[in-house]
Amino acid sequence: MGVPYDIEYIDLSNKPDWFLEISPLGKVPVVQVNGGISIFESAVINEFVSEINPPVMHPTDLVEKARNRAWIEYGSGMLGTNFRLRNSKTAEEFAENKSKLVEQLKKVEEQIEDGPFFNGEEFSLIDSSYTPLFMQLDLMSQIHEFDIYAETPKIARWAEMMLSLPAVKNSVVEDFPDLFRASIAKRDGYLAQFLN
């Protein structure tokens, strides 16, 4: 907490040269430390920021920590599934991708105990790692309700709680919902028809 930083937002449809020079994959996020060393991959960045500000926000038990890291990686893959879901061209494609995401959510659901966080009472890095997915699904369901959590009530509660946190609300630019909707409109797929 309280790590000083400067932030630059990148228009991913028009990436500046300086950004392409520091981001090996041309993707966000990338963090520059010690006057020019690039740290990329959000899970690595999150661990790094946590490690320079102990206590590290992972469970201390090594098996639990490894389990958390494994499911963080799994959640990263779910962002890919959700990317395909929101860019589906047809109702059939949307339904197919939704089923894939639901199956993945069900696997995560089995890992959660009582909450409110993934590991119970303690906030951990894994909670922040799933929040972009929760935020995207929330915005998508505002465009078109598709009941993504129907079979995963624990994740529904986890997502709702995470999205209610001020730190999460403040983690994106103010016009993020508009930008997100604009990106869906631009793709002109299945979801775009529900934009008003």
12 contacts ligand GSH (rule: CB under 6 A) = yes
Residue type, 43: A
Residues in contact with ligand GSH, counted by CB under 6 A, come to a total of 8
For 17, list phi and psi in degrees, rounded to 5.
-60, -40
Q: Which residue from 8, 22, 24, 26 is in contact with ligand GSH, where contact means CB under 6 A?
A: 26
Choices 23-31, 67-75, 84-92, 96-104; region in contact with ligand GSH by CB under 6 A? 23-31
27 contacts ligand GSH (rule: CB under 6 A) = yes
128 contacts ligand GSH (rule: CB under 6 A) = no
- Sign of the alpha-carbon dihedral angle for 61, 54, 41, 93: positive
131 contacts ligand GSH (rule: CB under 6 A) = no
Pick 39 or 165: Cβ nearer ligand GSH = 39
Pick 15 or 157: Cβ nearer ligand GSH = 15
For 31, list phi and psi in degrees, rounded to 5.
-120, 135
Q: Which of residues 41-80 bind ligand GSH (CB under 6 A)?
A: 41-42, 76
The nearest distance, CB 76 to ligand GSH, in angstroms, is 5
